[in-house]
Amino acid sequence: MSHQFNSTVLREYDIRGIIGETLGPDDARAIGRGFATLLKRAGGSKVVVGYDGRVSSPVLEHALCEGLNASGCDVVQVGMGPTPMLYYAEASSEQVDGGIQITGSHNPANYNGFKMVFLGRPFFGADILELGRMAAAGDWIDGTGTVERRDVMDEYITRLLAPIAALSPVERERLSSLRMAWDTGNGAAGPAVELLTARLPGEHFLLFTDVDGHFPNHHPDPTDEKNLADLKKIVAGKKLDFGVALDGDGDRIGAIDGDGRVIWGDQLLMIFAEDLLKILPGSTVIADVKASRALFDMVAEHGGKPLMWKTGHSLIKSKMKETDAPLAGEMSGHVFFRDDYYGYDDALYAGVRLLVASARLGRSVTQMRGDMPGMINTPELRFQVDESRKFAVVDEVKERLTGSADDVDDTDGVRVTNADGWWLLRASNTQDVLVARAESDSDAGLERLMAQVDAQLAASGVERGEQAAH
């Protein structure tokens, strides 16, 4: 027996497809068989499984568990909840050897997919490709396994509240006066946020916590500003201190301050880093190559060690383990705490830490956002390019920049720093596009930086007019 996946489904950081077109129960069963086989061969035997609020998730969960059992692994079902609840169940139990969350994350309602943890580490890249090879060859162990149900929600919520207990009486008093909004966008984190906010100090206003896999109110991607319109409206209308938004599976955070300004991923990391470096001076703080120079400068100014790393939540998690960094984040809203937590991306925990940072630093979120340098930057610009050319174009740019007077960093693509600021060009790991971004402290500087990007793209035959949809 063997199985062939659609060529678009096995991706760099996760497995993702369109239900009924590129992804279905047979794929889920094959993923279960391959994952269980790898785990058994590595000495493991028990997998925790969770799923998000999409209409297709229960069917995929059933098939996945069948596959895991058929290759000899026992399954612990934790039911519907945010992805970080699944991560928590895996990280906090010594009896569990791996974890799989069925989730389409922030993608449209007809998508779904899988995020995986294997023996305590991210399962991505070559691991995911190996599942495809094993399925095509039918290279699976045969066996039997059990299924048990475990409710971890209350335990997870209690764990999220731990940072509050560490505050002083004065800091707790500050916390009790805070008023904020949470928008879960009808995603899987809704019920968890209801339970969490019922136990948090302060006053909390909740939006769209009913789980609905059709996402009737807005798309569950908090990094797109148009999806924050409802959050801005309630924060302004009720004069709240700030608002937090979560993506469809609760592992990415977005935020706005009391004036309705977006606090982007790197700006959130600046707040978290300032708070952390008071507790753990000299710590390494990791951010991806798309993050603002203001973040790296700020970490250094506060005595920390800034480290720029590759984009991708699995890559960041791996680098955190390697460097023992207590904090990391991405522009996409993934924030990772190893300080008093497990090192995975959890938007609910990040929301709690934002409350705590404001209380501990004695400044409002709005004040901290207002104190940040006024950098001028582009959004992520995406340019359609043939899959076979995307990495080659980046290599050609690197080659042309050899010997340049500018500072050229090739950690992930090419990030070029000069007197005007910086620009980035990298190949997407998940789409047939090149991603560009630039940042300066003046409009004229930004224009000059984008002219350099245009020149490099043109030299490799890529037209800027071919910008791809995000």
Domains, the chain, ranges and CATH? 15-151 (3.40.120.10), 156-370 (3.40.120.10), 376-466 (3.30.310.50)
One-letter amino acid at 61 equals E
- Catalytic entry in 56, 57, 105, 314: 105
pLDDT at residue 466 in the model: 46
H helices of 284-441, where? 293-301, 313-323, 347-361, 365-370, 390-401
- Which letter does DSSP use for residue 79 in this model? E
- Answer yes or no: 105 catalytic: yes
Q: What is the pLDDT along the chain (470 residues), one digit of tens a residue?
A: 899 999 989 988 889 999 999 999 999 999 999 999 999 999 999 999 999 999 999 999 999 999 999 999 999 999 999 999 999 999 999 999 999 999 998 888 999 999 999 999 999 999 999 999 999 999 999 999 999 999 999 999 999 999 999 999 999 999 999 999 999 999 999 999 999 999 999 999 999 999 999 999 999 999 999 999 999 999 999 999 999 999 999 999 999 999 999 999 999 999 999 999 999 999 999 999 999 999 999 999 999 999 999 998 889 999 999 999 999 999 999 999 999 999 999 999 999 999 999 999 999 999 999 999 989 999 889 999 988 899 999 999 999 999 889 999 999 999 999 999 999 999 987 778 999 999 999 999 999 999 999 999 999 998 765 444 33
Tokens of residue 37, six digits = 């086989």
Contacting residues for 297 by C-beta, under 8 A, at least 6 apart: 306
pLDDT score for 468: 43
What's the pLDDT at 343? 95
Q: Quote the tokens at residue 187.
A: 């995603």
Rounded Cα–Cα distance for residues 423 and 439 (Å): 6
Residue 14's contacts (CB-CB under 8 Å, 6 or more residues apart) are: 105, 113, 114, 115, 116, 124, 128
pTM for this model (two decimals): 0.95
Exposed, middle or buried, 343 (CB in 10 Å: 0-12/13-18/19+)?
A: buried
First to last CA, the chain: 38
SS3 percent helix, strand, coil of the chain, rounded to 5, is 40, 25, 40
